[in-house]
C-alpha cells in the first residue's frame, strides 16, 4: 500500500534527541520520513532509518550560514503543491528562525513567536518580570552582570545556583569545566565561578538564584501548544523522575510521569495566551517544599527533548503543528489526564537510582502495566546498527548514574 501524499514536507533543524523525537512523530502519524538539517551527525539520528536525508552544514549556527543552508535545502527539496514545514529543535536554531522570519518565509511555513516576545521570554530577567506580572511564582533571584568586574555581594542564603541568563551566548564561549548549572556554597565560590565565566568572553547577566531543596522528583515539566490564532489546544504536566546527572547535561530530563493539576495547568496556559504566544512551549518548574508553591525556572520556546510523552499519550506533536500551520484546523482545548511514564534510560536505572521511594514504586507499577515508552526504541526504526548503539547507550546510562549524583 502506497503512503498517502500530503501537501507538506517536514524540514527539521537539528540532529539530536529532540530532532529524532520530532522525526518519529511525523513518521508515526503520517508515515513521512522528514529531512533533517544539522551542524554535524549525531548517533540519535545518524543511526536511524527514519530521516529521508540528513543535510550537514558546519556553519548552521551562524546567521549567514543558517540562511544559506536553508535556501539550499529549499531548492533541493521543493516540490509543486507541497509546503516546506520548518521545525527547530534547540534554542539557537529557533532563535535563528525567528530572527530571520522574513527571508525564511519565502520558502518555508512555521509557527513561532516574533522577536520582541522571544527576547522577553528567553532573557531570564525579562521572563521573571513577566511571570510576576501574570501571577507565575519564581525563585528568589538576582542578576549579576558579567560586563563589569564587580564582585557579587548581594544578601542570599547559601547554597545558590548560578546559570547564564543568555544560554545562546554562553554556549558560544566554551571553556574547560563549563557546566549548565553551578551549585555554590559561599561568596568566594560564587565569585570564582563568575570570574571564570566572564573570562570566557560571556558578557551578559548571570542568574544567581535560591537553591530550592529536593531531588529530581521535585522538578516538573509542562508542554503547551497554542495555535496561530492565540488559542491553547493542549496543556500537559509531568513530574520528573530523573534528570541527567552529568555537569554539562543537568536539566535534561530522562524520565517523567504525567500528572494532572488543573489550576497550575490553567495558570500556565493563561500566561502564554496573555503574552501573545504561538506554537509549542515547554516550561521547567520546581516544587518548593518550604512554601508549597511550584516555581517557574524558564520556558523553552519550542518542544523539549522529553516532550514526546505527549505523542505517546495520543497527542502527536507533529499533528498539532500540521493541523495548525498547514490545514488551519483549530482543536478543542485538551488538558492531558492520562497516566504514562516517559523514559530514555533503562529499567535498571529507574529501579536503582530514583531516591524517592514512593515514586520508585509508582515507576515499577507503570513498568509492570506497560504504561511507558522509550522513543529511542521506536519499533519502525529498522537501521541495522541502531540496536547495538542503543544497547551501548543503555549500559553507559547505568555507568553515568553510578558516578554522578545531583542533590
pLDDT band at 260 (very low <50, low <70, confident <90, very high): very high
Q: Taking residues 65-75, report their average pLDDT.
A: 98
Model confidence pLDDT, tens digit, residues 299-349: 999 999 999 999 999 999 999 999 999 999 999 999 999 999 999 999 999
Could you give the CA distance from residue 362 to residue 354 in angstroms, rounded to a whole number?
Answer: 11
pLDDT of residue 142: 93
Decide which of 2.40.360, 1.20.120, 3.30.1490, 2.40.128 is the CATH code for 140-210. Answer: 3.30.1490
Q: Is the pLDDT of residue 146 over 90?
A: yes
pLDDT of residue 405: 61
Model confidence pLDDT, tens digit, residues 180-232: 899 999 999 999 999 999 999 999 999 999 999 999 999 999 999 999 999 99
pTM for the structure as a whole? 0.91
Could you give the CA distance from residue 381 to residue 50 in angstroms, rounded to a whole number?
Answer: 6
Q: Taking residues 44-57, report their average pLDDT.
A: 98
Calculate ∠ Cα 256-374-302, nearest 5°.
60
Model confidence pLDDT, tens digit, residues 267-303: 999 999 999 999 999 999 999 999 999 999 999 999 9
Q: Where are the domains of the chain?
A: 8-110, 140-210, 216-376
Beta partners for residue 55, in sequence order: 37
Q: Is the pLDDT of residue 117 over 90?
A: yes
Q: What is the dihedral of CA 49, 55, 57, 60, to 10 degrees?
A: -80
pLDDT of residue 245: 83
Identical fold for domains 8-110 and 140-210, yes or no, is no
pLDDT band at 65 (very low <50, low <70, confident <90, very high): very high
Report the b/e string of 371-393 with b at 16+ CB within 10 A.
bbbbbbebeebeeeebeebbeee
Percent share of the chain, pLDDT over 70: 98
Q: Is the pLDDT of residue 406 over 60?
A: no
**In the predicted model, what is the mean pLDDT of the chain?**
95
Q: Which of 195, 205, 199 is nearest to 151 (CA)?
A: 195
First to last CA, the chain: 53
For the domain made up of 216-376, the CATH class stated in words is alpha beta
pLDDT of residue 125: 86
CA atoms within 13 A on the CB side of 207: 26
Between 171 and 371, the higher pLDDT residue: 371
Calculate ∠ Cα 65-73-97, nearest 5°.
55
Q: Taking residues 83-103, report their average pLDDT.
A: 97
Could you confirm whether domain 8-110 is CATH 3.40.50.720?
Answer: yes
- State the cell numbers at 372: 511507558
pLDDT of residue 3: 62
Q: Taking residues 369-378, report their average pLDDT.
A: 97
Q: Is the pLDDT of residue 123 over 90?
A: no
- Least confident interval from 107-116, 233-242, 327-336, 393-402: 393-402
Q: Which of 202, 197, 242 is nearest to 219 (CA)?
A: 242
Could you give the CA distance from residue 51 to residue 147 in angstroms, rounded to a whole number?
Answer: 43
pLDDT band at 166 (very low <50, low <70, confident <90, very high): confident
Amino acid at each position: 500500500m502506497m503512503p498517502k501524499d500530503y501537501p507538506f514536507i517536514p524540514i527539521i533543524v537539528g540532529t539530536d534527541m529532540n530532532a529524532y523525537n520530532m522525526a518519529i512523530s511525523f513518521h508515526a502519524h503520517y508515515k513521512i520520513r522528514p529531512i533533517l538539517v544539522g551542524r554535524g551527525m549525531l548517533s540519535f539520528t545518524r543511526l536511524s532509518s527514519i530521516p529521508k536525508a540528513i543535510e550537514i552544514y558546519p556553519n548552521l549556527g551562524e546567521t549567514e550560514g543558517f540562511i544559506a543552508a536553508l535556501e539550499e535545502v529549499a531548492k533541493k527539496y521543493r516540490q509543486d503543491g507541497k509546503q516546506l514545514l520548518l521545525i527547530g529543535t534547540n534554542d539557537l536554531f529557533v532563535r535563528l528562525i525567528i530572527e530571520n522570519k522574513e527571508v525564511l518565509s519565502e520558502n518555508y511555513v512555521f509557527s513561532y513567536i516574533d522577536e520582541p516576545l522571544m527576547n522577553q521570554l528567553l532573557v531570564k530577567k525579562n521572563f521573571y518580570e513577566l511571570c510576576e506580572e501574570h501571577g507565575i511564582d519564581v525563585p528568589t533571584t538576582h542578576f549579576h552582570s558579567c560586563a563589569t568586574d564587580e564582585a557579587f555581594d548581594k544578601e542570599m542564603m547559601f547554597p545558590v545556583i548560578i546559570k547564564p541568563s543568555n544560554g545562546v551566548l554562553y554556549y558560544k564561549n566554551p571553556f574547560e569545566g563549563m557546566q549548565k548549572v553551578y551549585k555554590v556554597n559561599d561568596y568566594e565560590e560564587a565569585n570564582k565561578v563568575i570570574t571564570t565565566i566572564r573570562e570566557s568572553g560571556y558578557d551578559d547577566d548571570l542568574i544567581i538564584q535560591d537553591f530550592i531543596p529536593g531531588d529530581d522528583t521535585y522538578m516538573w515539566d509542562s508542554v503547551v501548544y497554542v495555535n496561530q490564532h492565540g488559542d491553547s489546544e493542549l496543556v500537559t504536566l509531568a513530574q520528573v523522575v530523573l534528570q541527567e546527572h552529568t555537569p554539562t547535561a543537568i536539566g535534561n530530563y530522562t524520565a517523567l510521569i504525567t500528572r494532572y493539576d488543573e489550576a497550575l495547568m490553567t495558570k500556565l496556559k493563561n500566561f502564554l495566551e496573555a503574552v501573545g504566544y504561538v506554537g509549542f512551549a515547554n516550561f521547567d518548574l520546581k516544587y518548593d517544599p518550604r512554601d508549597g508553591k511550584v516555581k517557574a525556572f524558564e520556558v523553552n520556546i519550542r518542544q523539549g527533548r522529553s516532550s514526546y510523552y505527549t505523542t505517546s499519550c495520543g497527542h502527536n506533536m507533529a499533528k498539532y503543528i500540521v493541523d495548525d500551520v498547514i490545514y488551519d484546523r483549530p482543536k478543542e482545548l485538551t488538558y492531558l489526564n492520562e497516566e504514562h511514564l516517559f523514559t530514555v534510560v533503562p529499567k535498571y536505572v529507574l529501579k536503582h537510582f530514583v531516591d524517592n521511594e514512593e515514586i520508585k514504586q509508582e515507576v515499577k507499577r507503570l513498568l509492570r502495566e506497560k504504561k511507558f515508552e522509550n522513543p529511542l526504541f521506536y519499533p519502525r526504526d529498522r537501521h541495522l546498527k541502531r540496536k547495538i548503539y542503543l544497547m551501548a547507550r543503555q549500559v553507559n546510562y547505568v555507568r553515568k548514574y553510578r558516578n554522578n549524583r545531583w542533590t
